[in-house]
């Protein structure tokens, strides 16, 4: 019985993701257009934090001339997928998360793996119940599993890897973006452009608000350049630029 249920749930998930991907392709063109304007199609160093299966990295590779890429993906299955898929000496794939400090934490791998998160989940939220109904067919089957992962901070990574300027930092960590940013500490001044997602639904318990991110980046000499509403989601994506470079 469980195999039958899993089959229908996984088939449903494939259909939902396929439908979303159509709208996402149109939406992503707007983001790439803006990033091209800012970076002139040239990127020396790109950080993809929350790389998942390389969807955004592929977009960047298709639209920019890039020298070096650092991908960060804590989900072991997604990491394995990236290692098998990518054979490029310019790309370094790291099997850990970035955060505010070095630590080990529980990581929730969602049935829809692109939504995996370090944050707590509010199962009583309307958004969770709706998502569970759409992706899990309303069944009681668990929507995520937990594993322990390592978290390092951006300051430690940039120092150990002897990385200077980061042209583009992309963060998609499902409610952990603020802590990723704070982890770069003084080296955030060496980042030119930051592109990140922020959820406004009540499913993810973030313990911070968008205002916290905005004020932090503002204090670090960044300004908001663009804001994009994601299709069929209670989420926005933002581009911030460093005034030292723009």
Q: Domain ranges for the chain, please list them.
A: 2-242
- The pLDDT value given to residue 5: 39
Nearest to 91 by CA among 104, 78, 82, 102: 82
Residue 159 contacts by C-beta under 8 Å, 6 or more apart in sequence? Answer: 187
**In the predicted model, is pLDDT for residue 18 greater than 60?**
no
**In the predicted model, is pLDDT for residue 15 greater than 90?**
no
Exposure pattern of 53-89 as b/e (b: 16+ CB <10 Å)? bbebbebbbebbebebbbbbbbbeebbebbeeebeee
- The pLDDT value given to residue 59: 93
**Domain 2-242, what architecture?**
3-Layer(aba) Sandwich (3.40)
Of 10-19, 218-227, 229-238, the one with minimum mean pLDDT is 10-19
pLDDT digit string (tens) for 24-36? 677 888 999 999 9
Whole-number Å distance between alpha carbons of 169 and 194: 5
Contact, 175 vs 202, CB < 8 A?
no
Q: Is 233 exposed, middle or buried (0-12, 13-18, 19+ CB in 10 A)?
A: middle
Please give the distance of CA 52 from its chain centroid, rounded to a whole number.
8
pLDDT digit string (tens) for 110-153? 888 888 999 998 888 887 777 666 666 555 556 789 999 999 99
Q: What is the mean pLDDT of residues 82-96?
A: 92
């Amino acid at each position: 019985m469980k195999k039958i249920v899993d089959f229908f749930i996984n088939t449903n998930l494939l259909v939902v993701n396929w439908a979303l991907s159509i709208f996402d392709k149109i939406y992503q063109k707007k983001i790439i257009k803006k990033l091209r304007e800012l970076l002139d199609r040239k990127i020396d160093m790109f950080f993809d934090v929350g790389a998942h299966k390389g969807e955004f990295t592929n977009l960047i590779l298709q639209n920019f001339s890039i020298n070096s890429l650092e991908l960060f993906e804590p989900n072991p299955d997604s990491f394995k997928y990236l290692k098998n898929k990518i054979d490029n000496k310019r790309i370094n794939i790291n099997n850990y998360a970035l955060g505010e400090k070095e630590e080990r934490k529980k990581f929730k791998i969602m049935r829809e793996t692109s939504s995996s998160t370090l944050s707590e989940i509010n199962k009583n939220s309307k958004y969770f119940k709706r998502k569970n109904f759409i992706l899990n067919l309303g069944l009681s089957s668990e929507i995520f599993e937990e594993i322990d992962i390592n978290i390092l901070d951006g300051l430690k990574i940039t120092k150990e890897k002897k990385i200077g300027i980061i042209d583009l930092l992309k963060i998609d960590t499902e409610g952990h973006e603020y802590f990723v940013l704070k982890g770069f500490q003084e080296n955030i001044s060496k980042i030119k452009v930051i592109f990140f997602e922020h959820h406004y639904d009540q499913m993810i318990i973030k313990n911070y608000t968008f205002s916290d991110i905005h004020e932090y980046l503002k204090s670090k000499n960044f300004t908001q350049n663009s804001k994009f509403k994601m299709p069929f989601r209670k989420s926005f994506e933002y581009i911030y630029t460093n005034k030292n470079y723009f």
